[in-house]
Amino acid sequence: MLAGFALLAVRAFYLQVVEASYLQNQSDATHLRVIEDDSHRGMILDRNGEPLAISTPVDSVWAHPAELAQARNRWPALTRLLGISGAQLARAIRNSAGLQFMYVDREIAPQTAKAVMALHIPGVALQREYRRYYPAGPVTGQLIGFTNIDDVGQEGAELEYNDWLRAVPGKERVLQDRYGNIVQPVESISLPVPGRNLVLSIDRRIQFLTYRALMATIRKFHAHAASAVVVNVRTGEVLALVNVPSFNPNNRSTLASSLIRDRAVTDEFEPGSMLKPFTIAAALGTGRYQPTTMIDTSPGTIRVGGYTIRDDVDSGTISVAQIIEVSSNVGATKIALSLKPETMWDMFRRAGFGMSTGVGLPGEEPGFVRPYQQWLPSEQATMSFGYGISVTVMQMAQAFAGIANDGMMMPVTILRRDQPVVGRRIMSGTIARELRNMLELVVSSGGTAPGAAVPNYLVAGKTGTAHKLGTDGYRPNSYYASFAGFVPASDPRLAMVVVVNNPRSSEYYGGEVAAPVFSRVMSGALRMLNIPPDNLPHMQRWVAQAPAAGAKGGFIRVVAQNPAAPAGGAP
């Protein structure tokens, strides 16, 4: 008996003193784990603090591959709960051979997580993660984008600002039992750092208005797609950016590449007559033309380089202002051919065509403007009314905002600006104001876009209707219908561009398809932003034509005096 106790004492001394360090290490290797202590990704907010993307906590099932492999008889219960096959689980275990960790299923429902842990399967445990949720769903689909299952941005603002939004996980050493449950924390190695919030310039209310109007338009005209951008002309902030059809980023199973693309910045198109104001701006800049300069457009056609350029009607001799009003291709061509190619090219480049806007979204295309040294007369003619040049919706919105802002084009951004920024002058203030007056005529009863009118506000804008270019040339019955404008025209605050891709109905002109979208969105946005009207009955404007044919003049702008204004007040 004494010899036995002596042997036990010697063995205890050996285990607890001589082999203590080795055995402790073996125990630690089995039960001590360093785990990541996840934190949440930063929220994406609209300019008023409304959430556009938030992270919600979820559980994922993980396992120790070797332990789970030994509990094969428990697999059926686990696979039934998680909705996976035994073959999938066996393959995952084989692929994780030699590892200490493998995911079994990610981001499961809370009730499922509770049921999994109730099974008490050896080596199976839960890990807290975060899943992205998008409250606006498809309304902000392409703009916000989405994250993958590892919470890494894949598209839109989530991708562009991933480094800003992402969280840095902490590390913690914990003691676990044989089932993978945490018995107690041992020490904190590093603390988790949550992601930073991102405040966008987007106004969710205007975003929703735009989305609803575009959805109604593609349904009414059976269009392939549509895009629209709303910009604050004074700051360059993008208040709405919408593409339809869209996708719901909360449901990754329905993601399709054709829907994910942010077409307002990635897709180039020929703008058609929306480009005419910039041709006219180039002409006004030479000093040889005025808004009242008369141009003979008879007989409504002109031959250039073997090609015939046509107007819808023969407008006869009309002023430069009327060329904008009735959207005369012949008038724009005659003006363009009287200019040096470099003069037009310089105007287009100053307006931002052919270069990225830097708006802060992935995949943005710069558009295309051929070097003026390569222009043929026919190309110069067609570029005057928007063919042979490619732009994006974002570029066109920025350029029209420049006209609205007295010729000072602000850099566009999807981030809220709390400090003023320096813009870039693209034309003189005088030319910009003359263009604004001409563009008001487009929305008059004699213009191409009376449907863009907003009650009690003066609207300035330009329509565009361009054939789509296919692999074998221009398609005869396929169009881009567009409208670009700003409001209130007397003191512009908001600019908007609407482009509808391939309206398949008897109505396909920009004034019929795109202009009403502008009217619906701006009617709501102006009220939401409390922008006062500038076209109440006591401040009506009208335009009178010079009576004598061929006389100097053309259109004369007249402003009614406010009868309540004091003597000497501004008209």
Kindly list the catalytic residues.
Answer: 273
Q: ∠ CA 402-406-411 to the nearest 5 degrees?
A: 30
Phi, psi of 322 (to 5 degrees): -70, -30
Angle between helices 110-118 and 75-82 (to 10 degrees): 170
Instruction: Collect all residues with Cβ–Cβ distance below 8 Å to 27 and sequence separation of at least 6.
Output: none
Cis bond before residue 245 (omega within 30° of 0):
yes
Instruction: Print the SS3 string covering 380-432.
Output: HHHHCCCCCCEECHHHHHHHHHHHHCCCEECCCECECCCCCCCCEECCCHHHH
Q: Give dist(CA 490, CA 233) in Å, integer.
A: 13
Half-sphere exposure of 49 (CA within 13 A, CB side): 0
Q: Give dist(CA 449, CA 444) in Å, integer.
A: 7
Contact 477, 411 (CB under 8 A): no
Contact 136, 207 (CB under 8 A): yes
Instruction: Print the SS3 string covering 323-364.
Output: HHHHCCHHHHHHHHHCCCHHHHHHHHHHCCCCCCCCCCCCCC
Q: Give dist(CA 371, CA 383) in Å, integer.
A: 12
> Tokens representing 111?
């009730």
CB atoms within 10 A of CB 257: 6
Question: What amino acid occupies position 434?
Answer: E
Phi, psi of 565 (to 5 degrees): -75, 150
Q: What helix, strand, coil percent values describe the chain, rounded to 5?
A: 35, 25, 35
Alpha-carbon torsion (426, 429, 435, 439), positive or negative = positive
Cis bond before residue 488 (omega within 30° of 0):
yes
Among candidate residues 74, 76, 94, the one with its CA nearest the CA of residue 86: 76
Q: How far is CA 319 from CA 9, 23, 289, 344, in A?
A: 114, 97, 10, 20
Q: Give dist(CA 104, CA 83) in Å, integer.
A: 11
Per DSSP bridges, beta strands 51-63 and 102-108 are antiparallel
> Tokens representing 242?
């919408």
